[in-house]
Amino acid sequence: MSEPLIRSDVEGLHWPGLPNLPGAHILALLQQFEHSQWWPLETIRQRQRKQLESLLLHASASVPFYADRLARAGYLPDRPLSDEVWSVIAPLERSEVQRAGTALNSGRVPPTHGSIGSWSTSGSTGRPVTILQTALVRQVRRALTIRNHLWHGYEFGAKMGVIRNLPDGSAEYPNGLHLPDWGEVTQSVMVTGPSVSLSVSASTDQQIEWLERQQPDYLHVFATVALDLLRHIRARGGGPRQLRHVTTFAEMLAPETRTLCRELWGIELADIYSGRDVGVIALQCPENEHYHVQSEGILVEVLDERDRPCAPGEVGRVVVTPLHNFATPLIRYANGDYAEVGEPCACGRGLPVLRRILGRVRNMLTLPDGRRIWPRLSETRYEEVAPIRQFQVVQKSRTRLEIRLAAERTLTAVEEASLGDLIRARLGHRGFEFDFSYHDRIARSAGGKFEDFRSEI
């Protein structure tokens, strides 16, 4: 990998670069991240605890919602934060954040944290979460995004392609959006090549045609879009010819996507685990397929049903505390996701490991006997049964599933029966009945996301 060229804000000075103030802050963070990723876990936890004490002191003094909540847990502002007090602070449920609204906002954000803006989640559950974030939070987010580029060997002078949700109509097919650089995340820091973006509203055929014209070196794309592209290319050929790397985000990544990426494009794929409300949570290890928690920006806990920390190999709900958002503190925020804790990584990084990201409660299937499992329906090759373009399974009751299909034609009774047998085998249970419905296209959520399974019970 060639050394990136720092963008200089001084007229006539190209090297060494002297960036503008936000860029200088991001470079300072990156320089520290280069060292902190190798610290022992205990050192990382000590630094996090120091930052947590600062965050809780601010929240208890400037957000009445937290003053009461922390006091009930035994928190005393004039004493060091203990493990005992931290463990009894009640996790903050998503519904609580939605009900509290502006009551979670601080009225005394330190001026040195910079300008304050409002961010909202995609509202995939039907009700978005809206919070305030400072310029400081945005700088940390950008630094972690650039860390991901560096971890995976990106050449900053190459061409970046992006397929994502762009509701303002600025990147519609066939032209998409063209920029001379990679956009605001990197432009204040690095000199980059051009970027092209396309709205996820384009069909798979249109996305492939656009990629064939644009020929990006790197592709950032929703995880389900990547899988649709690869399945389409496997069946019909075509697609980009010079991709060096693919990064997926925003959705659960099916293992098949990695396999097809290697088979069809001969390249690796890296996944990002993040949320609009909390920023980057974990990045895929440069040497393995699991994820490293980005501990410099966020504290991540994976808790069991009794809110005890999960051990490696155990699955629990994800509870996060962004360490630097003093505008809307989110302390022990249960974001709705579930994950599996991993063993320490052989790469030598001290950053904690998440082995798998499993999705949300609504993505869990309830079996007829009441047990719940994580279905992995996207790995079944439904197109071998019939000409199916899209599928989605929606659980209506313990024994009944709606199979929504976008297909070239209505399936025959024999094909529907074969498809039902495939799904039952995949679920490991034969106690389900199916209702088939047909659609021209199965729409994505308002945030551009797609779920192949969703429970409505």
Lowest mean pLDDT among 14-23, 54-63, 282-291, 426-435: 14-23
pLDDT at 379: 62
Does the residue 374 lie in any domain? yes
Q: Identify the domain containing residue 448 by its residue range.
A: 365-455
Query: Does 123 have pLDDT greater than 60?
Result: no
pLDDT at 166: 83
Contact 320, 326 (CB under 8 A): no
Query: Does 156 have pLDDT greater than 60?
Result: yes
Percent of the chain with pLDDT over 70: 98
pLDDT at 443: 84
Query: Does 124 have pLDDT greater than 60?
Result: no
Does the residue 302 lie in any domain? no
Percent of the chain with pLDDT over 90: 72
Residue 92 CB contacts under 8 Å (≥ 6 apart), including other chains: 330, 331, 332, 333, 334
Tell me the pLDDT band of 11, cut-offs 50, 70 and 90.
confident
- Secondary structure tally for the chain: helices H, strands E: 11, 21
Does the residue 355 lie in any domain? no
Provide the β-strand partners of residue 372: 366
pLDDT at 380: 66
pLDDT at 230: 95
How many structural domains compose the chain? 1
Residue 300 CB contacts under 8 Å (≥ 6 apart), including other chains: 281, 282, 293, 318, 319, 320, 352, 354
Mean pLDDT, range 237-264, rounded to an integer? 93
Token digits for 320? 């996060």
Here the CATH number for the domain that contains residue 383 is 3.30.300
pLDDT at 276: 87
Does the residue 63 lie in any domain? no
Cα 158 from Cα 107, distance rounded (Å): 43
Contact 213, 235 (CB under 8 A): no
Query: Helix 204-214 and helix 223-236: axis angle, to 10°?
Result: 80
Does the residue 326 lie in any domain? no
What 8-state DSSP symbol labels residue 123? Answer: -
DSSP string, 356-399: EEEEEGGGPEEPTTS-EE---GGGS-GGGTS-EEEEEEEE-SSS
Whole-model pTM: value is: 0.88
Tell me the pLDDT band of 122, cut-offs 50, 70 and 90.
low
Does the residue 250 lie in any domain? no
Does the residue 379 lie in any domain? yes
Query: Does 1 have pLDDT greater than 70?
Result: no
Does the residue 224 lie in any domain? no
- With b for 16 or more beta-carbon neighbours within 10 A and e for fewer, the 350-363 pattern comes to bbbbbbbbbbbeeb
Mean pLDDT, range 74-82, rounded to an integer? 94
